Chains A and B, each alone.
Chain A
Amino acid sequence: MFLDSDLLMSALRALTPILLAALGGALCERAGVFNIGLEGMMLLGCFTSVATSWFTGSPWLGVLAAALAAAAYSLILAVGAVTLRGDAVVLGIAMNLLAVGLTSFLLRTVFGVQGTFDDPTLAGLPLVGGFTPLAYLAWAAVAVAALLLSRHVWGLRLRGVGEAPDAAATLGVSPAKYKYGAVLVSGVLCGLAGAQLALGNVTLFSENMTAGRGWIAVVAVMLGRAAPLGVLLAALLFGLAEAAGFRLQGVGLPQQATDAAPYVVTLAALFLSTARRRRRRTPTSGVAA
């Protein structure tokens, strides 16, 4: 009764933004750029999609604008970490902080409200078979990313750049070009994730509305070992935790317990996966030591 189709549906809805962002993170990871700015790029996508949809009346333009804005924003990481060889971790943290400040600032200057912008005439994304088109796009993106990384020359070069940049450069593959590409694509995907969150899952913008989902996506990349299918499974786990949390709220658990559930589940999954990996690795590392 608990694990029914309703729960699965709401889990699938909850996972879409995480999945889109995590796919972007996985591509960056494969290209050798540690991208923890997913949260900020997503938040910027949320705001841009809502603002554009509000002023043009078209949620589609909102989606497009979110993708473009987040891609432009991702250039901070590309230029800072790849060209200027700055610290990707610090850049990512700064990008997340900047996105919170920037969107709160714009929320007040553009809409003149503080906290949440919510209007019944704000156009959200239509549902097709219970999901937004972006959800289908996310699933398709998993397949495309998986094929790209395992079969296509771009994917193979991308992995080469991440694993051995010098060797790739010797073979005439420009590491910077592929790293820029991966970061920009992650920007687009995070922008779409933000649009899905703000025009799909709900139809509003509120300050810091991503609430750690970008970080969950970072963890999903780790859990899925930066492989698209692994990332999908990890995102599904999070989606189930969020959906189950809402269900438990219905039977009287306080909201705080359900708020915390996804993080606890994610952390537990991370423990289990690393514990298993370590146990498997123990005999070989014993020899090496």
Chain B
Amino acid sequence: MNNRISGALRSPVTFSVLAGVVIGALFLLGTGADPVTAYQAVLTGALGADGIGSTLSTGTSVLGMALALAIPLRAGLINLGGDGQLVLGGITAAVTGLYVPLPAPLAVTLALLAGMAAGAAYAALAALCENHLGVPLLVSSLLLSYPAVSLASYLARYPLKEPGSSLPQTRALPEGVALPAFGDSTVTVGLVLVLLAAAGYWFTDRRTAFGYEIRMTGLNPRFSAYAGVERRGLTLKLMAVSGALSGLVGAIGVLSFPYRFVDGSLTAPGYTWTGLTAALLAAAAPLGTVIASLFFAVLQVGGLAMERTTEVPRELTQVLQAIVIVFLAARLRFPSRLWRRRKEAV
């Protein structure tokens, strides 16, 4: 157990996070702010009574996207088209919610499912490009993302635009077509859905043959191919699940405040990239992805509080996130010799 703890403390993850925090502190000093005050502001802003609701609703989207990107990543596949799948899910959910003449609970369910289906279909398209047209997934998913974002933007600005509004947004969903919120907060049932998805991912990863196939493909694609894992099928399935989750995040976004599709509101906060960062930090492990998502949601929300108290731009948290991944990818860790000497001294 002791070994396990020292191993975890010495792991590249700890090193990267600490390096990010230290470099972030240098940035803060560079702008003349006090790092301790700034980091305190991040924590109190994100976890205090005023911020926790915001952290949980941001966390819903971040965790959703992190799971969406972690699932293919577990098999070594990188889906860079999260933004496109996200907005398609959102706009499809908005159209369903607006035009399906069903009682509200059914309309909500249908909107969620439609959003998931749209995201899944679009992500599957990227997988087909890799499987049958020889375009690497990394590139096909990213290039497909741009036209999808443009399409959703067009729909929200022209055919579906709210008449008389100066904003690029659709009409508000009918009364009651919304995810129930907890109390007066902005936290909705969406959080529960995303946590259920995380639990499902954990179970699949740990307890099923399919999860084992995914992990083995990630660790050694040639071994898993030799053992009979059909790569094309796996890519297609994983991308469909990934897209479905991205679409779900989009649908949750539309079915929560302000209950409509607003152009840019799903992509501007950078959920896709924060999610990808979280998934990479956790090496796509289910529990780790949840923890990393919470960490980044705290940073993102706390960044606003930091900006208010220290006047340091909140973009600093984005810098910090990226630095963590740079260090992680470079596989830096504390040298073991240094660590041992320290332990002896203790």
A positions within 8 Å CB-CB of B = 36, 76, 79-80, 84-87, 89-91, 93-95, 97-98, 100-102, 104-105, 108-109, 212, 215, 218-219, 222, 254, 256-257, 259-260, 263-264, 266-267, 270-271, 274-275, 277-278
Query: Would you mind naming 24 contact pairs between A and B with Cβ atoms under 8 Å apart?
Result: A76-B326, A76-B330, A84-B330, A84-B331, A90-B325, A90-B329, A91-B330, A93-B80, A93-B325, A95-B322, A97-B273, A97-B321, A97-B322, A98-B319, A102-B322, A104-B313, A215-B142, A218-B139, A254-B154, A257-B154, A259-B150, A260-B146, A267-B140, A275-B134
A95 to B330, CA, bound (A): 12
B157 partner residues in chain A, CB cutoff 8 A? 254, 256
A108 to B142, CA, bound (A): 28
The 7 closest A-B pairs by CB, nearest first: A101-B318, A98-B322, A274-B134, A80-B330, A256-B154, A94-B325, A260-B150
Query: Is B151 a contact partner of A260 (Cβ separation < 8 A)?
Result: yes
B276 at the interface (CB under 8 A from A): yes
A259 partner residues in chain B, CB cutoff 8 A? 146, 150
CB distance from A88 to the nearest CB of B (A): 8
> Pick the contact of B326 from A94, A257, A270, A274 — CB < 8 Å?
A94
> Pick the contact of A108 from B146, B150, B315 — CB < 8 Å?
B315
B133 at the interface (CB under 8 A from A): yes
A94 partner residues in chain B, CB cutoff 8 A? 280, 322, 325-326, 328-329
Q: Chain A residue with minimal CB distance to B318?
A: A101
Q: Chain B residue with minimal CB distance to A104?
A: B315
> Pick the contact of B318 from A95, A97, A215, A222 — CB < 8 Å?
A97
> Besides the contacts A80-B330, A109-B31, A215-B142, what 4 more A-B pairs have beta carbons closer than 8 Å?
A86-B329, A90-B280, A104-B315, A267-B144
Query: Is A91 a contact partner of B323 (Cβ separation < 8 A)?
Result: no
* A interface secondary structure, majority: helix
Query: Is B147 a contact partner of A263 (Cβ separation < 8 A)?
Result: yes
Residues 114-166 of B contacting A (Cβ, < 8 Å): 129, 133-136, 138-140, 142-144, 146-147, 150-151, 153-154, 157-158
Query: B311-341, CB under 8 A of A: which get 1 and which 0?
Result: 0110110111111011011111000000000
B positions within 8 Å CB-CB of A = 27, 31, 78, 80, 129, 133-136, 138-140, 142-144, 146-147, 150-151, 153-154, 157-158, 273, 276-277, 280, 312-313, 315-316, 318-323, 325-326, 328-332
A267 to B143, CA, bound (A): 7
CB distance from B105 to the nearest CB of A (A): 34
Q: Chain A residue with minimal CB distance to B12?
A: A86
Query: Is B315 a contact partner of A270 (Cβ separation < 8 A)?
Result: no
B312 partner residues in chain A, CB cutoff 8 A? 109
